[in-house]
Structure 1
Amino acid sequence: MNDVTTYSAERVRYWVWSGFYTASEVEELLAQLIEHEGSEAGAELNAAELWAQLDQEWAAKSAAEADWPDRTDCDRLDEAFDQLESEGICCVHNAGHSVSDGFTEVAEALHERGSENFYGYCFYSGHEIEHALDGAGLWLTFGDLNDNAERAYAVGRKVLSALVDAGLEPEWDGKPQSRVWLPELTWQRWTRRDFFAAEM
């Protein structure tokens, strides 16, 4: 399998198993990827195989969900983020692909939700989700909106507390410039509820 095909296959797996995209959204993303990468890679990219993989991934995820617990670690993460939002910490799920993208996503979220309502932030990017899908846990980035180290430490404590309250087991070295890690988190995010509506 060449690099382009490997990358494309990884994208399909991520879009399906991340839980952040409906079937129609994934189909649109895959069509765009095939158009872009296919023009670059020519015959090296097998579009039919990717569409077949997409069907297989959806089937596999649907079957897996039948055995998931009623309350998954991703549900717990959502609960923690909701708690943090109520305490003045702007939280963003799936914030771009990289940590750098995440800061941009936080800025946009603050603009939409009203920056005056928050003093801190917390997020994880798509890159972190990919690691979580591979069983490597989830890293969370946090901080103070004014880059104050003392207040960033306070944000870190809040993040830690909210995660523990939600039933997760975070690790953090106590340094405001460090990230919080959820080493035992199992990534099980339910397919979005509008999945079937998107298929009708």
Structure 2
Amino acid sequence: MTTQHPMFSSSFPPADDLLVSGTLRNDISLHLCHGHSRRDIHNDFFELLDDPSEWTRTRKDPFPEDFDAIIDEVAAEYAQKVTEKSADAQRLDALRDELAQRNLAFSFDEGWDASEGAEYGAEQAEDEGAAGYVYCHIQDVDRLIHTGDLFFGFGTMKTDDELSTAEAVGEELVEALRAVGFAPDWDGNPNSRVLCQGLVVEYPLAEDLTDAE
């Protein structure tokens, strides 16, 4: 059974993904489902907002004369649908600490695809001196919002004998996911990602958006 974010029952259901423009309000809704702040949303749109002609050339909806008012409109409905961080979102927070205890870095919602996600994961592992890394890239989080399915990729930095193979990192990841309350599914193949299904990951509005309530 597909598990969707509560914003799908709102006036502004989330767009399909962050890189393909939908209507502005649906795009903003997706950003909020990712847990993004007002600043994050502005950073994503600032080039188009600085050049109305570019906006008209690349988007179908009209140029927003008051961008923040539109953000506030969507955020007000979001605040009615999501009042607190969901249990699965709290488990993801706990997962970061659980992985750190196992000498693994965790990159979440960074990089567009598996290749970029792995790059961010490896960079974070290098910064933290971790023996391996786990990652969920942007498209993974888009899929999570729409379906409740979340894939975890992983890899090794080959600096620790016990975690020198991707398979060993995958086994640690599965144990860590179980430890925080998830039910992971993995076939043991180091080239396959680990899947958790039926997740509902909700983040309350960022502090710079709470004035919309």
- TM-score w.r.t. structure 2 length? 0.74
Residue 59 of structure 1 and its aligned partner are, at CA, apart by 1.4
- Displacement after TM superposition at 1:55 (Å): 2.6
What secondary structure is seen at the aligned counterpart in 2 of 1:181? Answer: strand
Counting only pairs closer than 5 Å after superposition, residues 100-179 of structure 1 correspond to structure 2 as 100-114=115-129, 118-146=130-158, 151-179=165-193
Q: Which residue of 2 aligns with 1:23?
A: 38
Q: Which piece of structure 1 moves more, 122-131 or 93-102?
A: 93-102
Structure with the largest fraction of helix:
1
Q: Structure 1 residue 25: deviation in Å?
A: 2.7
CA–CA distance in structure 2, aligned partners of residues 198 and 113 of structure 1? 36
Displacement after TM superposition at 1:50 (Å):
9.1
Q: Quick one: which of 193, 203, 206 aligns to 1:189?
A: 203
Q: Which runs of 5+ in 1 are unaligned?
A: none
Q: Does the residue aligned with 1:73 lie in a helix, a strand or coil?
A: helix
For residue 26 of structure 1, report the CA deviation from its aligned partner: 1.6
Q: Could you tell me which residue of structure 2 aligns to residue 13 of structure 1?
A: 29
Deviations 1:127-179 (A, max 9, x none): 11111110241111012224999722221111111111111121111111100
2:169 is paired with a residue whose SS is helix
TM-score by length of 1: 0.78
Structure 2 counterpart of 1:17, one-letter code: C
5+ residue gaps, structure 2, are: 1-19
Change beyond 3 A, Cα 1:29–1:126: same
Which residue, out of 96, 109, 115, partners 1:81?
96
Question: What is the letter of the counterpart of residue 190 of structure 2?
Answer: P
Structure-2 separation of matches of 1:166 and 1:38: 49
Check conservation: 2:118, 2:154, Cα contact below 8 A: no
Measure the CA separation in 2 of the matches of 1:137 and 1:49. Answer: 37
- 1:47 aligns to what SS in structure 2? coil
Q: Distance in 2 between matches of 1:33 and 1:64?
A: 29
1:170 alignment partner, SS class = coil
- Answer yes or no: is the 8 Å Cα contact 2:25–2:74 preserved in 1: no
Matched, 1:92 2:107: yes
- Is contact 1:9–1:50 with CA below 8 Å preserved after alignment? no
Q: How many residues align?
A: 189
Residue 110 of structure 1 and its aligned partner are, at CA, apart by 2.9
Return the alpha-carbon distance in structure 2 between the equivalents of residues 185 and 37 of structure 1. 39
Write the letter of the residue equivalent to 1:155: V
Change (3 A) 1:162 1:102: same
Identity value in percent: 21
